[in-house]
Chains A and B, each alone.
Chain A
Amino acid sequence: MIRSILLHGLVIAALIALEPMLSEYHHGNLARIMVLATYAVGYNVLFGYTGLLSLGHAMFFAAGMYGCALMVRLAEWSVGPAFLVGVACALIAGIVVGFLALRTIGVGFMIVTLMFAEAAYLTILYYNEYTRGDEGFTIPQSVRAIGTLDLSDTTTRYFAALTLFSICLIASAALVQSKAGRVLIAIRENEDRVRMLGFDPFRYKLLALVTSAVMAGAAGAAYAVLFGYAGASFAGVQYSIFPLLWVLLGGPGTTLGPLLGAVLMFYLVDYASGTIMPGLAALVETQFGIEAPGLASAWLLLVGVALVLLVLFAPRGLLGTVRVRMIPWLP
């Protein structure tokens, strides 16, 4: 337990210490990554620790995002209370979806969550008058403040993202190391045995799903407030797949895996699309005199190959593999 506290404290301290050292570019990236990692931390509670693979988590991210952003846009609330409304929306969505979707298991759970998310996405498009549908809407810089704290300010945004991430990381670590957390892990390993031991798996799975939804919603609300935009694309299936990839990459069932996965995936996409593939296209053009515009856009292939290699050679994710081979106490 002490080692776990020290490790998480060290990671948070490192993120604090990095702030003044980062270039403006990486500073902005890391703020965004921490918000997305918060989303992934929530996803990890459900998938990594409880073994429930949701294909519809974007609905919780979007519930938080729109719950917050619409209160600012339509009711002209300040962003502090609006953020709490966003989290509450995700909480309610988590309870409702949980009660219905947790009646299914395995592939059924995946399909039901996917369908709920699709319904949420189409609802956002349908109420275009309020949500501006696929286009989305901005939250003016002038209202993105809590008291005297300007949330669009680079440093403030970084620490706001770090605060949210730290709270969710600590909460997730505390949960998975608590008695309830051990039951979640036991459900992942053998749900029938958990039931036989006298626990009610439904209650614990609901706890995991609602916790996960609240963290996803908090990340969605934070994205709207910190980056000034809410749009339906965040409710699309792509944004349900992203946290799955981040968690798979970093290590499902490890508390720090979501952060590592989000960081690596962000920079893999960034360098593959902005540097590696366009550079390769330019090289082909200069060396062979062949225009290869398709090569510049083939970065998704590179990302795909990286993920396939990961699944083949490190199926437990990076930190999962580290735990198996080097640090067995890694939380």
Chain B
Amino acid sequence: MASADGNDMTKLDRRTVLGGAALLAASGSGLLPGLSGYAQAQSSAPIKIGFQVHRTGIGAAYGRWYDRTTKAAAKLINDTGGINGRPIEIVAEDDGTDPKRGAEVIEKFATKHECDVAFGTLFSHVVIGSAPRAGELKLPYFVVSEGHHVASGMLNRYTLQPGITDVKSQVQSMAPWVADNLGKKVTMIYPDFAFGHDHRDYFSEAIERQGGNVISKIAIPPRETSFFKYLPKIPKETEVLYHVMVGPGVLTFVKEMGEYFGDKRPEIFGFIDSLEAVDITSPGLEFLEGSHFWEGYPRYAGPDQTEHDKFYRAAVGVDNNGASLSDPKDVSTYAHMFGCWETLHILKAGMEAADYKGPKDRQALIEAVENMDVFPESRAHPQGSKLFNGRTHQAFAHQHISKVEGGKLVPVHKTSIFDTYYEDEVDYTKMSF
């Protein structure tokens, strides 16, 4: 079986594809496991879900919205009967966007709060720093990080990422559309640390498979505050300028790009990560008009808005521009935060499939989630349908490309799920508990 970009898809087994197709067709039918029919409650005590949240530190903007999304999902789950008839209780602790504190918080969930599972968080170093303790404490740890660290095999059987795709998927799925619509000679500008290096490596490979190539790779050192000296390094023959997460200096970066290029610029493609929680109409971002962005989930509700998206926005408190209903200047991290909503619903489905009663059923919960193949588009999965690979503990989903038009992000392309798939790098199911 071949993917849209010609990858060998033999690792995506027959069961997944056939089961996936059938289940996707049955989306919303009510026949799907976990969406109906609660098991009889064995106890009325709440199921405690430890929520690792970036309240302080560099991830605070993401944390604020992860928190709101999680509360909204928990309310919905509780309003519709809880899990196995039991309510859920979110126990939130600030991880300070710091791996040491993250690990301490995991310990606290397991040994002080006696949580059933742990859940969160975005920044990769916090997840990687926390996962070893989750494994040692045998505490299921559902992360919403988008890092490739889960599927790479670096972590352990207790760590899963079923609610959001990883950076490898996101990046490689962009290449076909970029090559077909923007150009094949690409210059990449990226931060000179692991996140940027992942983009550099995965996109370089992916664009080459499309017959294109990266003609220049410009790494921006951490804490850089001005980008003028890097811009002359962009080759004149560049057709596409690919930029990603240049840190807190993103506004300066865009402004200086505008001053450098003026009207004569290459096509520009970026990742929305650097502009999450930032109003796209902010002064200084005018130069982005006409450029394109990856979005995990389109921030602006368009004419094709689904009923599920309407429901999700209303529940979380987000308007059609992706900002808070109570404060239009408080822009959400819409491209990522859906992962919290969806992960909690997967947790619910997993606990119901495992007939989860308490910590002794943690292994059964992990096995139940590992056995899942498909998450059909629904209220529980408003971002869209997903395939889940139980061997790598990683979900795969549609990705979106939007164009900045009139100060808004207008969706122009939706990838196939198969564009995001890649060969297994680990089989966690063969690891012991």
Contacts and interface: CB of A to CB of B under 8 A. Distances in A.
A269 B194 CA distance: 29
Interface in A59-82: none
A133 B197 contact: yes
Most chain B CB within a 10 A radius of its CB, from A135, A139, A269: A135
B192 A293 contact: no
B268 interface: no
Given A135-B124, A234-B100, A293-B67, A25 B55 contact: no
Given A229-B129, A278-B92, A297-B56, A134 B103 contact: no
Interface stretch (A94-102, A120-128, A190-198, A311-319): A120-128
B147 A135 contact: yes
Interface in A98-116: none
B308 interface: no
B149 A227 contact: no
A138 B111 contact: no
A270 interface: yes
Interface stretch (B131-139, B231-239, B272-280): B131-139
Contact of A227 (B67, B125, B132, B155): B132
A125 B96 CA distance: 21
A136 B99 contact: yes
B114 to A, nearest CB: 9
A141 interface: yes
A29 interface: yes
B24 interface: no
Given A138-B155, A297-B56, A231 B136 contact: no
Contacts of B156: 141
Contact of B192 (A125, A139, A228, A229): A125
Nearest to B54: A297
Contact of B125 (A122, A231, A274, A278): A231
A28 interface: yes
Contacts of B125: 134-136, 231-233
A228 B60 CA distance: 26
Nearest to A228: B132
Nearest to A139: B132
Interface in A121-173: 122, 125-126, 128-129, 132-139, 141, 152
B194 A25 contact: no
Interface in B112-157: 112, 124-125, 128-129, 131-133, 135-136, 147, 149, 154-156
B216 to A, nearest CB: 19
Contact residues of A: prevailing secondary structure:
helix
Given A141-B136, A270-B104, A133 B194 contact: yes
B107 interface: yes
B221 interface: yes
A270 B67 CA distance: 19
A124 B155 CA distance: 21
Contacts of A27: 111
A241 interface: no
A133 to B, nearest CB: 4
A189 B96 CA distance: 38
Contacts of A232: 125, 193
A125 B112 CA distance: 35
Given A135-B195, A141-B135, A299-B94, A125 B222 contact: yes
Interface in B75-121: 92-94, 96, 98-101, 103-104, 107-108, 110-112
Contacts of B124: 134-135
Contacts of A306: none
Contact of B131 (A132, A138, A293): A138
Nearest to A118: B223
A134 B194 contact: yes
A171 B241 CA distance: 57
Given A137-B128, A138-B131, A231 B99 contact: yes
Contacts of A152: 132, 136
B107 A29 contact: yes
Nearest to A126: B192
Interface in A22-53: 23-25, 27-29, 32
Given A136-B129, A141-B156, A233 B98 contact: yes
Contacts of A136: 99, 125, 128-129
A122 B99 contact: no
Interface string B56-73: 100010001001000000
B194 A132 contact: yes
Given A229-B103, A231-B99, A300 B128 contact: no
A135 B108 contact: no
Contacts of B155: 138
Given A234-B100, A278-B92, A25 B128 contact: no
Given A125-B193, A128-B193, A274-B93, A138 B128 contact: yes
A137 B154 contact: yes
Interface in B390-410: none
A110 B131 CA distance: 35
Given A25-B111, A134-B195, A135-B195, A227 B133 contact: yes
Contact of B108 (A126, A137, A274): A274
B120 to A, nearest CB: 14
Contacts of B112: 23, 25
10 smallest CB-CB distances across A and B, nearest first, come from: A228-B132, A297-B55, A25-B111, A24-B111, A25-B112, A133-B194, A135-B194, A133-B193, A134-B193, A229-B129
Given A122-B222, A293-B67, 7 more contacts: A29-B107, A125-B194, A132-B194, A138-B155, A152-B136, A227-B103, A270-B108
Interface of B: 55-56, 60, 64, 67, 92-94, 96, 98-101, 103-104, 107-108, 110-112, 124-125, 128-129, 131-133, 135-136, 147, 149, 154-156, 192-195, 197, 221-222
28 contacts: A23-B112, A24-B110, A25-B111, A27-B111, A28-B107, A29-B104, A32-B104, A125-B193, A128-B193, A134-B195, A135-B124, A135-B128, A135-B193, A136-B99, A138-B154, A141-B136, A141-B156, A227-B132, A229-B99, A229-B103, A229-B132, A231-B99, A231-B128, A231-B129, A273-B93, A274-B93, A296-B92, A299-B94
Interface of A: 23-25, 27-29, 32, 122, 125-126, 128-129, 132-139, 141, 152, 227-229, 231-234, 238, 269-270, 273-274, 278, 293, 296-297, 299-300
